Chain A
Amino acid sequence: MSSPVQTLPGRTADARLRKRYAAERRFRLAGLFAVALSAAFLAFLLVTMAWKGLSGFTHFEAAVTIDFPRSDLILDPAALKGPDAQDTVAGADLQSVLMQSAGAAYGDDAAELFGSAAARSLGRQLIADPDLLNRRATIWLPVGSAIDIAAKQDSDPASERLVARLEAKDSLRRTVNMDFLTQSDATDPSAVGVWGALKGSFLTIVVTILLAFPIGVLAAVYLEEFATRNRWTDAIEVSINNLAAVPSIIFGLLGLAVFLNFMHLPRSAPLVGGLTLALMTMPVIVIAGRNAIKSVPPSIRDAALGVGASKMQVVFHHVLPLALPGILTGTIIGMARALGETAPLLMIGMRAFIAAPPTGITDPATVLPVQIFLWSDEVDRGFVEKTSAAIIVLLLFMLLMNGLAIYLRNRFERRW
């Protein structure tokens, strides 16, 4: 066996070989450079996000001594044990008690030490232990946003001085901000949390999945397996491909026109958000589903038909199970996109300020990306780290969903 290369004059062949290897090396270097560049961008994004955002998951607490019996607080300890405890606490003027106590402990300029987060925390502690009302107690409460910033980074001189004074008295400590994960939007940045938005996102995405997945998969199955090929199916195919490329804001306008103005569904509700996102996600699922169904080898169909399976049995016993990993991958990509979507939800009113987490799909709600958008728009400096922290929560939520997708895909993947 002699190859043509060997029969060429030695030098020419060598030169050509060298050139070939050089070209290959150049190509690999270019590829490596591209990978390194994207890795660097990703690392930059993650590091800045972590740098700015991680401090949002902690807050500072200051110790304050409150003499409850002597304060202006009028609260019946018995009422705190009843079912209306929340309302009772909310009705009491805890804020002014805190102002008095803080002023008394750390000087007049410390009157604004505590914000609404402290009042909320105090209320919770009173419900947990109504006996506090009968004595003088020292309690740790989260400080207001201005002091929190001053404790974490550079700030205005007055706040810095107060922080120094608190630290000198050993009355300042850093703790995990559980409120951020359990509370909802608020006007005071020290009191905000992502729970409401997280729940809104979850409810919205559930509505989207429940609608888009079955409808999308059934449409894909019908178009791929049952529909006869004619002008109509061609037109439908072109339309679906176009729909997948339509900007999301258009779907928002459609949702506004159809679901709100025509069908009069509740504004700002996860139901409408889910419907709108389902419209947006469906074409993606249909396309992914059709490709996955197309890639099932025809020999499997033949095999099933050959033993006398009906068309539907072939599809549901063999084709769909084999196409499922591909369908799921497409679905998850569509869902991840829907989860990160902001624009269409702005159109249907999910940008409203909503301080209570939704209890159902018809309650007003917001979603994480919209929450991030809203916070990034705020002027208060305290919202900066909250915005970054919310982005971290959103990224983790995405990571969780993608992890689930990979797990499901591997679970259903089969060899043939």
Chain B
Amino acid sequence: MKEKMPLMSTTPVPSPSAAIAADANREGPSATRDDGLGPEPDALQDANAVASAGAPVAEPDAGSTPKMRAREVSVSYGDKQALNKVSIDIHDDRVTAFIGPSGCGKSTFLRCLNRMNDTIPTARVTGRIELDGEDIHSSAMDVVQLRARVGMVFQKPNPFPKSIFENVAYGPRIHGLGSSKAELEQIVEKSLKRAGLWDEVKDRLNESGTALSGGQQQRLCIARAIAVDPEVILMDEPCSALDPIATAKIEELIHELRGRYAIAIVTHNMQQAARVSQRTAFFHLGELIEYGKTSEIFTNPRQQRTQDYITGRYG
């Protein structure tokens, strides 16, 4: 993906690092980059200056109340700034996709939304993130409760090395959702059905979750996230480890889950973003470059860099 050559242009743009270096050239030759993975503060300032012309649109549709609202969220790992003043709203009834090249901060931003970055000791998050108008960093908001309300599906399928039943039942059990065995069974069945896995596993609920195929494991992880009845589901490149058929199943599942949960999905795959999402945010070097309706981003982007990315000139 990264070394993809330009398809639509005769101007040679050899590699993402070269493109970025060109941008950073004004800072002098000392502004060298590692590989475009880690934005340097200098380059960020620079990129900011370019982006500020059409400052990121946080609210592409002022009509409905957003489920989650992020304002000027910045993240740094040690001295390294990974995310710079990102403001995005995530709505209830639609899928929001985050796209961008590797290291652009899209996963970092996603992990801010349920405070998974808290687990990284060097990570520092500033800015305000609200869930239903409540600040998720406030002392009134318990992080464990937050994660129950904002579930997460990870890049690599990561079922617990326990039975399929236990995988799904674990969340409800620790949150005291199913007091009896029958109730738990009900929750497990409902979750597996919603994740489209029930028919495949109903006869072997006691087998290990790790014995399933990759796609099934990922749907099991989705079922596990659903089981605690979250309001928002965050998906961090959920299909990157899956084959096309399993990917298609997950995408279909995302369609079905839309409306019931607010969904935010990070993806490397632009076609996937176009297929599953209604809103798309394009990140680059820790900046939110453009945020809008998916159809507009892909057909009529306002920013040059968005255009370059979606036409495959870098990324």
A91 CB contacts on chain B under 8 angstroms: none
Let me know if A308 and B228 touch, CB within 8 A: yes
Is B55 positioned at the interface, with any CB of A under 8 Å from its CB? Answer: no
Q: Are A308 and B158 interface neighbours, CB within 8 A? A: no
User: Would you call B210 and A308 a contact (CB within 8 A)?
Assistant: no
* Known contacts A307-B228, A313-B174; is-contact A414 B147 (Cβ 8 Å): no
Q: How far is the CA of A177 from the CA of B227 in the complex (A)?
A: 66
Residues of chain B contacted by A416 (CB below 8 angstroms): 161, 210
Which of B58-66, B91-99, B114-122 lies at the interface with chain A?
B114-122
Stretch at the interface among A54-62, A80-88, A297-305, A400-408: A297-305
CB distance from B4 to the nearest CB of A (A): 24
Give the residues in chain A near B210, CB-CB below 8 Å: 415-416
8 A Cβ contacts from B199-234 to A: 208, 210, 221, 224-225, 227-228
- Within the complex, which residue of A228, A302, A414 is in contact with B161, where a contact is CB–CB below 8 Å? A414
A120-178 interface (Cβ within 8 A of B): none
On whether the beta carbons of A307 and B121 are closer than 8 Å, the reply is: no
The stretch of B12-20, B148-156, B291-299 that contacts the partner chain: B148-156
Q: Which of B147, B221, B224, B227 is within 8 Å of A305, CB to CB?
A: B147
B36 at the interface (CB under 8 A from A): no
Q: Which A301-348 residues sit within 8 Å CB-CB of chain B?
A: 301-310, 313, 317-318, 322
Interface residues on A, range: 20 to 34
From B144, B152, B158, B227, contact of A309 by CB (8 A): B144
| Inter-chain contacts of A309 with B (CB < 8 A) | 144, 170-171, 174
At the interface, yes or no: A70 with Cβ under 8 Å from chain B? no
Chain A neighbourhood of B174, CB < 8 A: 307-310, 313, 317
CA–CA, A229 and B120, complex, Å:
12
Among A299, A301, A302, A306, the most chain B Cβ lie within 10 Å of the Cβ of A306
Contact of B170 among A302, A317, A322 (CB under 8 A): A317
B145 at the interface (CB under 8 A from A): yes
Residue in contact with B116 in the complex, picked from A306, A313, A317, CB distance below 8 Å = A306
Q: Considering the chains assembled together, what is the distance between the CA atoms of A306 and B156 in angstroms?
A: 13
* Residue B159 CB within 8 A of the other chain: yes
Is B198's beta carbon under 8 Å from chain A? no
The proximity string for B residues 98-118 relative to A, scoring 1 for CB distances below 8 Å and 0 otherwise, is 000000000000000010100
Residues of B with C-beta under 8 A to A304: 160, 170
A308 in contact with B119 given A300-B160, A317-B170, A415-B161 (CB within 8 Å): no
Quick one: CB contact mask for A25-46 with B, threshold 8 Å, 1 for yes? 0000000000000000000000
Knowing A301-B119, A313-B174 are in contact, say whether A307-B224 is a contact too (CB < 8 A). Answer: yes
CB contacts (< 8 Å) of B159 on chain A: these are 303
Give the CA-CA distance A308 to B147 in the complex, in Å.
Answer: 5
Complex interface: chain B residues within 8 A of A301 (CB): 119
- Smallest CB–CB gap between A411 and chain B, Å? 14
* B275 beta carbon closer than 8 Å to chain A: no
| Of B156, B161, B170, B208, the contact of A307 (CB 8 Å cutoff) | B170
Is the Cβ of A299 less than 8 Å from the Cβ of B154?
yes
The CA of A143 and the CA of B14, in the complex, are separated in Å by 96
Query: Quick one: which of B151, B161, B224 contacts A322, CB cutoff 8 A?
Result: B161
Which among B145, B154, B161, B175 is the interface contact of A306 at CB below 8 angstroms?
B154
Q: Is the CB–CB distance between B121 and A306 below 8 Å?
A: no
The minimal Cβ–Cβ distance linking A294 to chain B, given in whole angstroms, is 15
Q: Is the CB of A307 within 8 A of B158?
A: no
Q: Within the assembled complex, what's the spacing in Å between the Cα atoms of A112 and B221?
A: 82
Which chain B residues (251-283) contact chain A, with CB distance < 8 Å?
Answer: none
A415 touches B121 (CB 8 A): no
List the A side residues contacting B225 at CB < 8 Å.
306-307
Residues of A within 8 A of B208 (CB): 414-415
Cα separation A328 to B208 with both chains bound (whole Å): 23
A302-B148 contact in complex given A307-B224, A307-B225, C-beta closer than 8 Å: no
User: With A308-B175, A308-B228 known to touch, is A302 a contact of B145 (CB < 8 Å)?
Assistant: no
A303: B residues at CB distance < 8 A: 154, 158-160, 221, 224
Q: How far is the CA of A229 from the CA of B227 in the complex (A)?
A: 35
List residues of chain A with CB within 8 A of the CB of B114: 306
Contact residues in A for B146 (Cβ distance below 8 Å): 308
A308 touches B171 (CB 8 A): yes
**Contact between B147 and A307, CB atoms less than 8 A apart:** yes
Which residues of A are found within 8 Å of B227, using beta-carbon distances?
Answer: 307
Q: Which residue on A lies nearest to B175, using beta carbons? A: A308
B160 lies within 8 A of A308 (CB)? no
Contact call A305/B121, Cβ cutoff below 8 A = no
Contact A300 B158 (CB under 8 A): yes
| Whole-angstrom CA separation of A229 from B78 in the bound complex | 14
Choose among A307, A310, A414, A415 the residue that contacts B171 (Cβ–Cβ < 8 A): A307
Closest to A313 in B: B174
Near B by CB (< 8 A), chain A positions 381-416 give 414-416
- Chain A, residue nearest B211 (CB): A415
B287 to chain A, nearest CB (A): 26
- Which B residues lie within 8 Å of A318 (CB)? 160
Residues of chain B lying within 8 A (CB to CB) of residue A308: 144-148, 171, 174-175, 228
B173 to chain A, nearest CB (A): 10
B263 → A minimal CB distance (Å) = 15
- Minimum distance in angstroms from B44 CB to a CB of chain A: 27
CB distance from B39 to the nearest CB of A (A): 24
| CB 8 Å contact bits of B134-149 with A (1 = contact, 0 = none) | 0000000000111110
Distance from A237 Cβ to chain B, minimum over Cβ atoms (Å): 16
Residues in A with CB closer than 8 Å to B224 are 303, 307
Q: Can you list 25 A-B contacts with CB-CB less than 8 angstroms, sorted by A residue number?
A: A228-B121, A229-B121, A299-B154, A302-B152, A302-B158, A303-B154, A303-B159, A303-B160, A303-B224, A304-B170, A305-B147, A306-B147, A306-B153, A306-B225, A307-B148, A307-B151, A307-B171, A307-B174, A308-B147, A317-B170, A317-B174, A322-B161, A415-B161, A415-B208, A416-B210
Residues of B near any A CB (own CB < 8 A): 114, 116, 119, 121, 144-148, 151-154, 156, 158-161, 170-171, 174-175, 208, 210, 221, 224-225, 227-228
Beyond A306-B151, A318-B160, 9 extra complex contacts between A and B, CB < 8 Å: A297-B158, A306-B152, A306-B153, A307-B151, A307-B224, A309-B170, A309-B171, A313-B174, A414-B208
In the A-B complex, the 7 residue pairs with the smallest Cβ-Cβ separation, listed nearest first, are A308-B148, A307-B171, A299-B158, A306-B152, A308-B147, A416-B161, A414-B161
